[in-house]
């Protein structure tokens, strides 16, 4: 699909058009191409995992373009707060990390100096800026553990603390007990 079609599809899923949507779509197109993924929603759908480093608008665009998702275990969220994503071709092992350039934000104003609102200027400029002006690309190596791969859980155990089940080898052994992360003291919530 072409950029405009992918952007329109992404906007439908995300709910509005914003600079992050434009960056996410272009980032995904570039990442897929460089990782050697031709049809991420077709014949290559089982050959890709994407690691996103931000929980912002661009992540919805990455999901929309690639077809990867947390529920399918083909999207991994790394809470780094960076406008970056890594596209991994599971068939070939090729992995590329695409990073949005910070200077693109300021450069966008040069493209549309008549637009006073900087976000609107970014939105329009990102649509026409080159990949070289928007992104850095880094070839990387990503080792994915078997328990992090898509498919059925490798293991399910009952937490000896709360009685809830833990899968995908996320249990913790503490003081001779099998516990979930929250019962072991590392949860995001407290009872």
In this prediction, residue 76 carries a pLDDT of: 97
CATH 3.30.60, the chain: domain bounds: 152-191
3-145: in CATH 3.40.50.300: no
Instruction: Report the distance separating Cα 96 and Cα 135, nearest Å.
Output: 12
- Kindly give the parts of the chain with pLDDT less than 70: none
Residue by residue, DSSP assigns 69-137 as: -TTTT-EEE-----SEEEEEETTT--EEEEEE-THHHHHHHHH-TT--SHHHHHHHHHHHS-HHHHEEE
Question: Could you tell me the CA-to-CA distances from 14 to 2, 25, 37, 59, 63 in Å, in that order?
Answer: 18, 12, 23, 9, 10
CATH 3.30.1330.130, the chain: domain bounds: 3-145
Tokens representing 185 are 């003291």
Tokens representing 189 are 């919530």
The CATH T-level fold of domain 152-191 is: Wheat Germ Agglutinin (Isolectin 2); domain 1 (3.30.60)
Instruction: Report the distance separating Cα 191 and Cα 186, nearest Å.
Output: 13
- 71-93 confidence digits (pLDDT tens): 999 999 999 999 999 999 999 99
């Amino acid at each position: 699909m072409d950029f405009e079609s992918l952007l329109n599809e992404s906007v439908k899923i995300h709910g509005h058009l914003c600079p992050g949507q434009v960056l996410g779509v272009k980032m995904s197109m570039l990442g897929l191409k460089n990782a050697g993924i031709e049809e991420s929603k077709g014949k290559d759908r089982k050959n890709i995992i994407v690691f996103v480093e931000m929980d912002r608008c661009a992540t919805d665009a990455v999901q929309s373009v690639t077809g990867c998702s947390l529920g399918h275990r083909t999207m991994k969220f790394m809470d780094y707060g960076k406008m970056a994503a890594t596209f991994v071709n599971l068939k070939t092992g090729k992995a590329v990390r695409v990073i949005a350039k910070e200077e693109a934000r300021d450069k966008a104003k040069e493209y549309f100096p008549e637009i006073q609102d900087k976000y609107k200027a970014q939105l329009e400029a990102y649509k026409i800026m080159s990949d070289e002006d928007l992104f850095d690309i880094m070839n990387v190596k990503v080792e994915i553990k078997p328990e992090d791969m898509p498919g059925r859980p490798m293991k399910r155990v009952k937490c000896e603390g709360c009685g809830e089940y833990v899968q995908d080898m996320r249990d913790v052994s503490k003081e001779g007990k099998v516990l979930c992360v929250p019962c072991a003291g590392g949860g995001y919530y407290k009872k």
